Amino acid sequence: MRVTITGGAGRIARYTALRLANEGHRATLFDRVPLADLPDDDPRRSMPFVLGDVTDPDACRQACEDAEGIVHLGGILVPTPDTFRVNTVGTWNVLEAARWTGATRVVLASSINATGIGWHITDRPIEQVAYLPLDEDHPTHPEDSYSLSKYVNELTAAAFSHAYGIKTAAMRYAGVFTPERIAEHHREPPEPGFSRQFQPGRYRGIWAYVDVRDVAQANCRALLAPDLPLTGAYFIAADDTQSRLDTRELLARFIPEWLPKVRTLTGRQSLFSTAKARQAFGFHPEYSWTGVE
């Protein structure tokens, strides 16, 4: 398959491109940041690269001109005054490019924050959890510009799927850990914490995380699965949490209001269910910070 990866200079793109190359597919990279200072073993050194911005529709078309599939990773990763515009317009342009070029499948980066259970502006969402663990049917209530942009992108992808038959998979990634961060976490797990406002270094994503190699696995499985549903959003997370504590103990310490909402929860189980991704395209997390390679 010929695949275009937006955000091609980023960390998720590196591992996704490597997995695609190892499976015999051809990737073209697209980013507004040039590839620079790549290590010798980075697979992107030999891949076609298009310099441009996802907010530029012509650049998107150029980057995707012969793509059969697209992995859309480009965008702003935190709430800023420009996040909503860049993320939503960029996604629209990528999906329009897919329609124009005839690409049949788009895998796009969403986030667990699309639920609204992450960064907040008010205190209300903390009371709006209906049940735990969360699945993709749980109601959403995003407030900040990043979380809202991700939810809107899911709706945009679904609209293109229904209108034009392009299969789309919106991947609700948990906090993405590199192998280096996994190893550091293993050596010295941080004390658990939780903050509902956007404060880098404090918010633990309700203690969810996922290894970037499992993100690449999910991206490629969704891109290539023969029976992928027409459209959908999928949680992509490790099976466990970032903490050494049992999950019920974390809830009791930081969010006791949620304890009555627990349906089934054992040990250090994640608060985000990946059952839908397992069923739709065979995702299964392979990495945990508790057992590094």
- Give the CATH number, domain containing residue 95: 3.40.50.720
Residues 6+ apart with CB under 8 A from 239: 269, 270, 274, 285, 288
Q: Within a domain: residue 154?
A: yes
Per-residue confidence (pLDDT) for residue 102, from 0 to 100? 96
3-state secondary structure of 167: strand
The pLDDT assigned to 204 comes to 57
- Cβ(101)–Cβ(66) under 8 Å? yes
Contact between 8 and 49 (Cβ < 8 Å): yes
Six token digits for residue 157: 């992808």
252 in a structural domain: no
Is 156 within the bounds of a domain? yes
Domain of 86 in residue numbering reads as 2-188+210-240+271-281
Sheet holding 2-6, edge to edge: 49-51, 26-31, 2-6, 69-72, 105-111, 167-173, 231-236
pLDDT beneath 50: ranges in the chain: 125, 293
In a domain, 228, yes or no: yes
> Which residues have a Cβ under 8 Å from the Cβ of 106 and sit 6 or more positions away?
69, 70, 71, 72, 94, 95, 98, 157, 160, 166, 167, 168, 169
Q: What pTM did the predictor assign?
A: 0.94
Q: What is the pLDDT of residue 119?
A: 73
The answer to whether residue 264 is domain-embedded is no
Asked if residue 260 is part of any domain, the answer here is: no
Cα 213 to Cα 209: distance, rounded to the nearest angstrom: 12
**Residue of 195, 206, 265, 263 lying closest to 235 (CA atoms):** 206
> What pLDDT is recorded for position 39?
77
Number of domains into which the chain is organized: 1
What is the identity of the amino acid at 201? G
What pLDDT shows up at residue 41?
Answer: 76
Domain assignment present for 255: no
What 3-state DSSP class applies to 267? coil
The pLDDT value given to residue 176? 96
